[in-house]
Amino acid sequence: GQSLEQPSEVTAVEGAIVQINCTYQTSGFYGLSWYQQHDGGAPTFLSYNALDGLEETGRFSSFLSRSDSYGYLLLQELQMKDSASYFCAGRPGNTGKLIFGQGTTLQVKP
Amino acid sequence: NAGVTQTPKFQVLKTGQSMTLQCAQDMNHNSMYWYRQDPGMGLRLIYYSASEGTTDKGEVPNGYNVSRLNKREFSLRLESAAPSQTSVYFCASSEAAYEQYFGPGTRLTVT
């Protein structure tokens, strides 16, 4: 089957670092994307890992290990505005579609 | 640029009614997608179109039809709405599947 597993909720304090994990079960999986969604609005693209390793974009980093079927999103110097839902998404095979995880709700506290 | 636009923003239907959700993008993307999102759930792909003139089923296509009218527009039709189709519907477009641009969503309630 093709599914991605994420924790449903994570809580952290302002200024801290938080890691949101994503594990998946699928074959022929092409890369892992991460999206952010505020209050049920339009999801926005954050990052993509095509290959193993770490990708850094400002305060956000994303990691992928294809051999472990595992990835994570790392958010540093947390701000209140980072409170949102975060989704990992994978591309099954060489297709033009994405399968999304169920999302992790991040609550940042003062 | 408006990006991805969707109409309507909100809609209430009675069971058995039909309606079409409209989506348009001005980014000249080849691929377009329709998703539904239920409370506490991720986005589930209904249909997608890799290019003008082509459409493919996603994870949850039953009860829906789509039309890729031209490169800009991709519509989603509910022929006979059911309460199970109460959801938020998002349209998206992309050049690369991993980086999709989403519209603001249509909040649909079927009573």
Could you report the per-residue pLDDT of B55-64, keeping only the tens digit for each?
999 999 999 9
How far is B82 from chain A, CA to nearest CA, in Å? 22
Determine contact, residues B81/B16, Cβ cutoff 8 Å.
Answer: yes
Please give the pLDDT value at position B40. Answer: 78
Query: From the candidates A45, A62, A88, A104, which should be mutated to test the interface with B, based on the most B CB atoms within 10 A?
Result: A45
Buried b (16+ CB within 10 A) or exposed e, A62-79: bbbebeebebbbebeebe
Q: pLDDT band for position A58 (50/70/90)?
A: very high
> Which pairs from A53-60 meet CB under 8 Å and 24+ separation?
A60/A34
Q: Which residue of B has its CA nearest to A8?
A: B40
Contacts of A95 in chain B (CB under 8 A): 97
One-letter-per-residue 3-state SS of B68-96: ECCCCEEEEEECCCCHHHCEEEEEEEECC
* pLDDT score at A1: 61
Nearest Cα residue in chain A from B50: A96
Assess contact for A105 and A40: CB atoms under 8 A.
Answer: no
User: Between chains, do B102 and A43 touch, taking CB under 8 Å as contact?
Assistant: yes
Mean pLDDT score, A15-36 = 90
Per-residue pLDDT averaged across B44-54, rounded?
Answer: 94
